[in-house]
Chain A
Amino acid sequence: MDVAVEIKPLRLALVGVPNCGKTALFNRLTGSRQKVANYPGVTVERREGERLSADGRTQQVLDLPGTYSLKPTTLDEAITRDVLLGRVANVPPPELVVCVVDAVHLPIGLRLALEVKSLGLPMVLALNRMDVAKRRNVKIDVTKLAAELGVPVLPTIAIKRGGADVLIEALDPALWIHHRRIAAPAWIEATAEDAEQRQKDLRGVLEAVGYHAPVENPWFARLDALLLHPVGGLLILASVLFVMFQAVFSWAEAPMNWIDGGMAGLGTWTAAQLPAGPLTSLLVNGVIGGAGAVLVFLPQILILFLFILALEDSGYLPRAAYLLDKLMGGVGLSGRAFIPLLSSFACAIPGIMAARTIPNWRDRLTTIMIAPLMTCSARLPVYALLIGALIPAKTVGGFNLQGLVMFVLYLAGIVSAVMVAFVLKHFSGARTYSPLMLELPDYQWPHLGNLLLGLWERVKIFLSRVGGIILALMIVLWFLSSYPAPPPDATGPAIQYSFAGKLGQLLEYIFAPIGFNWQISIALVPGLAAREVAVSALGTVYSMSAAGDDVAGQLSPVIAGTWSLATACSLLAWYVFAPQCLSTLAVVKRETNSWRYPIIMAAYLFVLAYVASFVTYRAVSAWA
């Protein structure tokens, strides 16, 4: 009689040192599109995905943060250890560990592999980046390596289509049916003797497989001498950032005009097709006027991210971290703070989470507290709107003046972050300095597929925000701006008599000293949900304030005609420090496990923003 044996799907975990290609392999196995970059510390939390095995069943795949050892020094490394050891509630230990090792830098990865193997969990070793190893003449006897380790060793090229096929075949649950482990693995912290023995084992394995360190590429050494020069390197970094902001304005003009024209045309066409009434007003002023006002900044966001992604992929960013380490150390920040702070230029949330890679709690807290001062992409539409409206599009000394102002605003965010870090460090009394230990990746040409994928992800995030929370809030704001209807003897625009108008007039008492009118005051409220909503809110409020429907999508000329230079500069100063969105506060609460820090953060940023706007408004008013 045949007995059908049920083969349960395997629970896999990808483990490896930072920047060895775990996430690229995770994406290859699961079809996910998690962020991959050419620097360590991108993954700071456990990620979970699913894949269909050969028998059509679902396998769970875990992508764990990179770690050099099972004895963690940072929170992200502790996550890896705890998941492997089954120490996390409701998360059983993996049934099969895929230890990912960079073939080019075999010794570092192999040391971790030996440690993971000692846990007794079933394991395969994915020898990744075999293409680069071949190019750099690194020879590894894969069969001997498998024999030495006593686990299957499978060569992979995670970034290449089909580059993980051999590994995928080896993950068939039927092959592992007799190797399942039920109890959680035991782990005893290694003593000095254990570590010494492991080092001896490692040397033995490396000798047996014929490994020799790769020959240094002479071009990489020359590039490093130039880019890591203490003075020249910093000048090059400043130039790269300067060119980036010039491009944001110079290259985006044409596509922005297309979108602007398209939205204005859509507003006019919609108004002509529908009979006059509340629905038409909602569609033209609320939906098209509001969402269109922020949609127009998509090209600028994409150009900014094209540069950031290209710099990430090329391997330049960790070098920038190395360059800035000494400067950051001078104000009491760890060099490790560079990558979290850099992530904050996209959004403060991943930046705050990336601060998990900082071992020292005070350094980590300082980084979390200053992360919102980095200019996130949500602030870009606000800056671009105000700069476009008030700064003439001319060149000064061969440079685009608008790009120059944008560069100064980004710089203002960085300088204020440095100053706040200095003050925090001074008051906390901490004087220790955590040195930066960072593995510099090889230089490489940015991978076109990665760039396109990264840009596509930004488009999706931006459009889902425009079509989701921004659209919903604009409809609510339209309602608040339209009702109640003005009295029959009303003389001013209808919005002045609405709920929003009354709220704006109340808020004006608080914001009048810094030059904000009631329209700006209204826009600041939904701007707390997400900063770019302020632009849509201004679009809706001014649409409702105007006599006709021709304002939709054309906010810049209205602002240029009705605001003083002092008001616009004051609003720019406000947004350099503006209290962050609610989601950021929620993440700070989660990361610090306390309400104390998000409250302190919101309060200090509000005070900074108000003081900066007040000083700016008074100074520009006196000068102009």
Chain B
Amino acid sequence: MIQQALVALIVVVAIAVSVWKLMPARRRLLALLKFDAWAAKHPALATFRERSLRPRITRAAGPGCAGCTSNVSRPQPPPR
């Protein structure tokens, strides 16, 4: 019985991790930002936010909008 309960727990965690890892980076960042906004309302989570959540958000944001080709004015072709 204990083995079955443990296995159920491990499988649920594995499904959650798989979904999270396969989620598009933009959705993952939005989810983190929502979680951060919720955590900001709870002073008890201040240390967790500072030490764990914020660095994770920074990593998820990666190079930010400036690194995305969609957000850069297209270069002019060289004169022929």
Comparing B9-17, B29-37, B38-46, the segment that makes contact with chain A is B9-17
A277 at the interface (CB under 8 A from B): yes
Given contacts A469-B18, A475-B10, A91 and B77 within 8 Å (CB-CB) = no
Known contacts A359-B78, A476-B11; A79/B22 CB under 8 A? no
Of chain A, the residue at the smallest CB distance from B70 is A593
Number of interface residues of B (CB under 8 A): 30
Chain A residues bordering chain B, tally (CB within 8 A): 42
A390 within 8 A of B: no
| Chain B 54-80 residues near chain A, CB threshold 8 A | 63-78
Q: Provide the residues of chain A in CB contact with B25, threshold 8 Å.
A: 586
Instruction: Decide yes or no: A48 and B64 within 8 Å by CB, A277-B3, A472-B14 being known contacts.
Output: yes
Nearest CB in chain B to that of A64: its residue: B66
Which chain A positions have C-beta within 8 A of B63?
Answer: 45-48
Cross-chain contact B76 with A79 (CB below 8 angstroms): no
Chain A interface SS verdict (over half): helix
Binding site of B, secondary structure by majority: helix, strand, loop or mixed? helix
Interface pair B75/A73, CB less than 8 Å apart = yes
Tell whether A529 is near chain B: CB-to-CB under 8 Å: yes
Residues of B within 8 A of A48 (CB): 63-64
From known contacts A277-B3, A469-B22, infer whether A72 and B68 are also in contact, taking CB-CB under 8 Å.
Answer: no
Of the residues A77, A78, A472, A591, contact of B18 by C-beta under 8 Å:
A472
Q: Which of B7, B24, B64, B69 contacts A593 (CB 8 A)?
A: B69
What's the Cα separation between A560 and B45 when bound, in Å? 55
For residue A505, CB closer than 8 A to chain B, the reply is no
CB atoms of A73 and B66 under 8 A apart: no
- Does A75 sit within 8 A of B, measured CB to CB? yes
Distance, CA A476 to CA B8, complexed state (A):
11
Is the pair B74, A73 in contact by a Cβ cutoff of 8 Å?
no
Known: A277-B3, A282-B7. A472 touches B17 (CB 8 A): yes
Known contacts A73-B76, A469-B18, A279 near B69 by CB under 8 Å: no
Neighbouring B residues of A282 by C-beta, 8 Å: 7, 10
Is A468 engaged at the interface, CB distance under 8 Å to the other chain? yes
Determine if A78 and B11 form an interchain contact, defined as CB atoms under 8 angstroms apart: no
B-side contacts of A475, CB under 8 Å: 10-11, 14
A83 at the interface (CB under 8 A from B): yes
Q: Which residues of chain A are near B64, meaning CB under 8 Å?
A: 46, 48, 90-91
Decide yes or no: A479 and B71 within 8 Å by CB, A73-B78, A79-B66, A359-B77 being known contacts.
Answer: no
Answer whether residue B21 sits at the interface, using C-beta atoms and an 8 A cutoff. yes
Q: Does A88 contact B (CB under 8 A)?
A: yes
**B-binding residues in A (CB < 8 A):** 45-48, 71-75, 77-79, 82-83, 87-91, 275, 277-280, 282, 356, 359-360, 468-469, 471-473, 475-476, 479, 529, 582, 586, 590-591, 593
Chain B residues engaging chain A, CB cutoff 8 angstroms: 3-4, 6-7, 10-11, 14-15, 17-18, 21-22, 24-25, 63-78
For the complex with contacts A46-B64, A48-B64, A469-B18, 8 further pairs of A-B residues with Cβ separation under 8 Å are A46-B66, A71-B76, A78-B73, A78-B74, A88-B66, A91-B64, A279-B3, A282-B7
